[in-house]
Structure 1
């Protein structure tokens, strides 16, 4: 297969992987379990569960949301990057001197 064909095949695999990552769910919760979030590996929020106790303190709830969502987004980003890098590395043509994935 020529280089252009290989690149097109890789692009198709990347798109398939992106679609599959819409179904990979990451669950994250605060240390005490009062807030739980679920998002996809493509960083789309699917659900947020808030314990009634947190609804009584707006500032505390905001802090919990920031920390928990940032942790979940970090995990989702790591999974996303690993999955897409694997597909990309596998599909890249072997060009001497061009080693992007060391």
Structure 2
């Protein structure tokens, strides 16, 4: 049983490492504001179109940045959940022999 728990911990660590290499993006204002993050929810880059930046007011820019960041983080969460569900399914399949 402890072997299975250890395997689960190792699998979770492997998933976390893999999520570092998956890129997600969030955009606002038709792509004029772009956010790039990892599936581990670490923002890596924020890009604002110079044309948009020149005419935007601060409040609008802040709101749209929040929109783009939240979109990227929602994608990251979806990917993370899918990875964990797949790992759990694999792990539970391996545990089936313990209870049968």
Deviation at 1:4, TM superposition (A): 1.9
TM-score by length of 1: 0.82
Matched residues, number: 94
Once residues 73 and 79 of structure 2 are traced to their aligned partners in structure 1, the CA distance between those partners, rounded to angstroms, is 10
Identify the range of structure 1 (67-76 vs 51-60) with the bigger mean alpha-carbon deviation. 51-60
Superposition RMSD in Å: 1.6
Specify which structure has the higher proportion of helix: 2
3-state SS of the aligned residue for 2:31?
coil
Which consecutive residues of structure 1, in runs of 5 or more, have no partner in the other structure?
97-102
TM-score by length of 2: 0.83
3-state SS of the aligned residue for 2:2?
helix
- Give the match for residue 54 of structure 1: 53
Which consecutive residues of structure 2, in runs of 5 or more, have no partner in the other structure?
none
Once residues 12 and 59 of structure 2 are traced to their aligned partners in structure 1, the CA distance between those partners, rounded to angstroms, is 41
Once residues 86 and 4 of structure 2 are traced to their aligned partners in structure 1, the CA distance between those partners, rounded to angstroms, is 15
Specify which of 28, 51, 60 is matched with residue 26 of structure 2.
28
